[in-house]
Amino acid sequence: MSSSPRRGRILHTDYSGEDVFVLGRDVRRAIDHPEAMATATSLVLAAETRQRRAEEEAEALLAAARTEAESLREAARRDGWEAGHAEGLIAGRADVDAEYRRHLEVIRRAAEEGRAIRDGIVDQSAAVIARAAMLVVRRVVGEYYESDPAATVLAAEQAARAAATQQIVSLRVHPSVTANVQARLTDPADVVVGDEAVEIGGCIVDLAHGSIDATLDGRISMMELALQRASGSAQ
């Protein structure tokens, strides 16, 4: 008995006026026909069904391909938009940063100008305060020395002590305190002379080589200069 696959046989029959075909297993699988026997009509129907199914599958594949292509195009457009949007954001952020830096520079300059103005006002105020303080000092100190001649005597004694190592030619004081100073300075008393140009509260010590200005105005001027230097307003 042969083991080779049996080919489908075609039987001619008068049954229903159609040819009936006996189909082998491979043929049935190929045309997707479940039965071993088939008429021409059933074979045509099977073929049409298979063709229709193939067309449907092809349409489905084509639709899927179109959908995939559209998805790819949309993704490309989205990526492009996002890239452009990102570039726009970067450019916009750069513009904002530049504008911020410009504003910051304006604020910095304004702050520097404000500090300069403030410092100028402070300096001017310090100078004004120093001058006002010295006016008060002059008035108060002058009144103090006028009310107490002994204070002028003490100032003259301190000036004479400062010039002790040098030859004193004269020690000039206001005439109203000459006697008081002479009484106190027993050693150089003969050099004490009255001078209307010298205010109460100080003296001028004339030396062989120069002089010492110990007048009230001179001492206060030294204090004023020190205050001006401290306030930064000294010329």
Of 136, 165, 163, 140, the closest CA to residue 151 belongs to 140
**pLDDT tens over the chain, length 235 residues:** 444 444 444 344 444 455 555 555 555 555 555 665 556 566 666 666 766 676 677 666 666 666 766 666 676 666 655 555 555 556 666 666 676 677 677 767 766 776 776 666 666 666 666 677 777 777 877 788 888 888 889 989 888 888 888 888 999 999 999 999 988 887 766 889 999 999 998 899 999 989 999 888 888 888 778 777 776 655 5
- pLDDT, position 172: 94
Q: Where are the domains of the chain?
A: 9-68, 148-216
- pLDDT, position 164: 83
Angle, helix 149-162 to helix 40-147, in steps of 10 degrees: 100
Q: How far apart are CA 38 and CA 21, in angstroms?
A: 5
Q: Is 16 left (phi over 0), alpha (psi -120 to 50) or beta?
A: left
Can you read off the two tokens belonging to residue 117?
A: 């103005």
- pLDDT, position 178: 92
pTM of the model: 0.43
Q: How far apart are CA 203 and CA 217, in angstroms?
A: 10
Residues sharing a CB contact under 8 Å with residue 168, sequence separation 6 or more, in sequence order:
160, 188, 191, 205, 206, 207
Q: Angle at Cα 21 formed by Cα 17 and Cα 22, nearest 5°? A: 140
